[in-house]
Chains A and B, each alone.
Chain A
């Protein structure tokens, strides 16, 4: 099993003819994801050829609605420039897909206040923005997580980061520990899916036996997740917080990674983890031993 995406995921790629969209659409096809449609306004009727061999052409549409009607897509992934991303998310949420994954970095936060209300009202799950997407190893990949670092197995992975997630997943894979699903929820202050949404899904998923959670400075999402683990979860969770050496008041790359005044520090998040029974990885490599101990 897996969470959010699986073999039945039928994907529409918004921005499929752009530089990032075309590259990653090809990568997803190669991984085995069912990429059923692409959308680029003005390029409807064209065919996207993911491998240059002409055999696996993906039809391109002008609108997401047309793509969904024609192909039955149930999930969308977005690679469009930041100024258009909010509209792209709302278009997807209006089209009938149930899951929208927004990779785009740099979406203005006030745009996200409108988008968040919009997708919630329609019961659509949004992952991101500013995220690497999801992968259920061996089944489907939606986004940009490198497929070769993942293998199927019992660990659910959820993270606010991209490359740090790759680092830790890679360490787990090298140690022979596979994953059910890896979810990158994104580094922005307002995102569609938070840690608790993922923990809930992993708790329900029969094949997930333990969860690896990678947080960072800024906000209180990790503290709330810790409380959820303490009160609602039976499965073991191991956590890490990036940004212990970050100065207050500075945005550490991710728009959401900022200590405001004295709130959102790594120390307070680690303390919450410890209080709530989450195993604390002091270094990325520590995940391996901590997860191993909880799987036996």
Chain B
């Protein structure tokens, strides 16, 4: 789960990181009032879960409160990478002498949190990694000991020659590590970490990604979720314990298991179609899940055919069949349905379907080809 900049900065502040104060507002008038309270030039910054906010025109420098109102009017409601800006952060503008990058990710290969630091801050770190990898220093942390002071100082000296600045940066790294661990993050970054002309080290922008697996045991983190920034169908799916990701194609897919769901989407593409979604109904076999899955998929007007691909292991295929029948009785489909189903209790499932005038294929390739054809307006084979 991504946090907004202002949420990440709140967490930074709680861990002692020096980051500018700010107010989150949703109207131009409130932006003007916040700028007045700030008492000097401010930045008005779009709060959306998208990179490249600055390039998209979502971050503006404002000399006066009136200008803050004007810029907020332009930014609120604008779309950045398809996401509507609902709120802006009004924060005092800082003078910048230099910009650095400090980030922590959970590194899959090293199986530990790894610091990435670079004196080339303020820009996309992936770009730095690709073009000038020597400008980045990596450091894996042994979680049993945490980030030790000497390690933090080594990283500090990689950023700054000046000992006072290196020490200040080292302190930020220890604070960021504490914030990262305490918030169940998979990523935390300060970009840029700036030095002001007065010599202060300040976290000017921040980002945090919380590991979704933390949320169940951490209601305090779950409370930071901004549902308005998500696709409503995806929120609906999550509330019903389904994993759903909307895509642009026209073949709706209902599958059990993430790997098989991806492979099914790939096979749709292989046979010349485009998947409309990723949807994993999971391992447990609850007919309600199927009902909800069909409701969510049929709400997408792009969907021209629906494909079920169920391999019953733990999932009992008769439960899936019952779910399909229940869903169709409540809401008859307007688009063709192709069912592939095999595995646990398949004889019972096929009988349930047959009793309700439905057929199922046992073959994945055959079913996918048929769904692709039907979505394109063809007739069933």
Contact = CB atoms under 8 A, between A and B. Distances in A.
B313 interface: yes
B245 A252 contact: yes
Given A117-B144, A244-B266, A246-B278, A189 B106 contact: yes
A189 to B, nearest CB: 5
Interface in A211-227: 214, 216-221, 224
A273 interface: no
A83 B217 contact: yes
Interface stretch (B54-62, B251-259, B327-335): B251-259
A163 B216 contact: no
Interface string B230-261: 00000000000001010100000001111111
A211 B357 CA distance: 42
Contacts of A250: 245, 278
Contact of B262 (A170, A221, A242): A242
- Interface core residue of A132, A251, A256 (most chain B CB under 10 Å): A251
Interface residues of A, number: 60
A31 interface: no
A83 B268 CA distance: 37
Nearest to B185: A110
A112 interface: yes
Given A160-B259, A262-B126, A82 B109 contact: no
Interface in A174-203: 187, 189-190
A245 B266 contact: yes
B106 A283 contact: no
Interface in A241-270: 242-247, 250-257, 261-262, 266
A285 to B, nearest CB: 6
Contacts of B112: 113, 116-117
B258 A252 contact: yes
Contacts of A220: 108-109
A208 interface: no
Contact of B269 (A112, A190, A245): A245
Interface string A143-165: 01110010000000001111111
Interface stretch (B67-75, B84-92, B148-156, B206-214): B206-214
A107 interface: yes
B291 interface: no
A264 to B, nearest CB: 9
A164 B257 contact: yes
Contacts of A252: 245, 258, 261-262, 278
A163 B268 contact: no
A242 B266 contact: yes
B91 to A, nearest CB: 26
Contact of B263 (A83, A114, A284): A284
Nearest to B127: A261
Nearest to B342: A170
A246 B259 contact: no
Contact of A110 (B109, B184, B315, B365): B184
Given A83-B217, A110-B211, A144-B313, A164 B108 contact: no
Given A114-B143, A247-B245, A159 B111 contact: no
Contacts of A109: 106, 186, 211, 213
- Interface core residue of B255, B275, B313, B315 (most chain A CB under 10 Å): B313
A111 to B, nearest CB: 8
A167 interface: yes
Contact of A189 (B108, B214, B312, B315): B108
Contacts of A257: 258-259, 262
A13 to B, nearest CB: 16
B259 A165 contact: yes
A41 interface: no
A159 B270 contact: no
A166 interface: yes
B280 A253 contact: yes
Nearest to A115: B111
B111 A112 contact: yes
B265 A246 contact: yes
A220 to B, nearest CB: 6
A255 B1 CA distance: 12
Contacts of A206: none
Contact of B258 (A82, A107, A253): A253
B116 to A, nearest CB: 13
A166 B257 CA distance: 10
A149 B109 CA distance: 33
Interface in B307-347: 311-315, 342-344
Contacts of A145: 313
Interface in B1-40: none
B283 interface: yes
B258 A254 contact: yes
Interface of B: 106, 108-109, 111-113, 126, 142-144, 181, 184-186, 211-214, 216-217, 243, 245, 247, 255-263, 265-270, 275, 278, 280, 283, 311-315, 342-344, 364-365
Closest 6 CB pairs of A and B: A161-B259, A253-B258, A163-B257, A164-B259, A242-B262, A163-B260
Given A220-B109, A242-B266, 5 more contacts: A162-B257, A163-B255, A242-B260, A253-B262, A255-B213
23 contacts: A106-B216, A110-B211, A114-B144, A117-B112, A117-B142, A145-B313, A159-B259, A162-B283, A163-B256, A163-B311, A164-B263, A166-B343, A167-B260, A167-B263, A217-B262, A243-B266, A250-B245, A252-B258, A253-B258, A255-B212, A255-B213, A257-B262, A266-B266
